[in-house]
Amino acid sequence: MKKVLFILSALALLVSVGYVNGQVGKTFPVMTCENIQDQKVNLPEATKGKYTILGLAYSQKAEENLLTWLQPAFTTFIEKRKQDLFSMNYDVNVYFIAMFTGANQSAYQASVKRTKQNLQDVLRPHVLFYKGDIDTYQKELSMKNKELPYIFVLDDEGNIVHFTSGAYSDEKMEAIEEVLSDEE
């Protein structure tokens, strides 16, 4: 019985980091986004040559959970590399992507406008917007639960090397840092 519980626990862990669902090792599917300056950003092409952290949300609830990642990711991957000489110096792209799909596409322009007015300047380069179909991403990235944000770490070629979902936790951040530290 203990052996069965161990196997089930190990399987649950592998699913939570994307190994069983098949995200890890795949190339991130092409996604055309728009930045705050209304410029097109083609992922993963725009990120090649540098490791990248992508946070995706395609519902209001997922966006609320994605916001829990904003400050910790900013502090860990952007701000620290400029201010703290004793911390790990991560040279990564970081993007938070609001996805407008299905009926939510009608809210795209108003949301982009509101974000432009309210977003702090320091965060502007890290926010992208996607408008279009969700089916490809749900299928290829196993983004089944619309209430969760999905966090992907891409290598310098655009391949997924780590995956997690849900609200921020220290454990999830440590796992991302471990992946990035292994690549330094």
Burial of 23 (0-12, 13-18, 19+ CB in 10 A): buried
DSSP-derived pairing of the beta strands 127-131 and 93-100: parallel
Instruction: Kindly state the percentage of the chain with pLDDT values over 90.
Output: 63
Q: Is the pTM of this model over 0.85?
A: no
Task: State the residue for tokens 């300056």.
Answer: 37
- Which of 14-28, 67-81, 151-165 ranks highest by mean pLDDT? 151-165
**Whether 97 contacts 56, CB under 8 Å:** yes
Average pLDDT over the chain, rounded to an integer: 85
Residues facing 129 on adjacent strands: 34, 98
pLDDT tops 90 at residue 83 = no
What pLDDT digit, counting tens, does each position of 120-175 carry?
Answer: 888 899 999 999 999 999 999 999 999 999 999 999 999 999 999 999 999 999 99
What pLDDT digit, counting tens, does each position of 38-73 carry?
Answer: 999 999 999 999 999 999 999 999 999 999 999 999
pLDDT tops 60 at residue 92 = yes
Instruction: Report how far residue 2's alpha carbon sits from residue 178's, in angstroms, rounded to the nearest whole number.
Output: 29
Instruction: Report how far residue 39's alpha carbon sits from residue 32's, in angstroms, rounded to the nearest whole number.
Output: 10
- Give the confidence band of 82 by pLDDT, cuts at 50, 70, 90: low
pLDDT of residue 81: 54
Mean pLDDT for the stretch of residues 102-129: 90
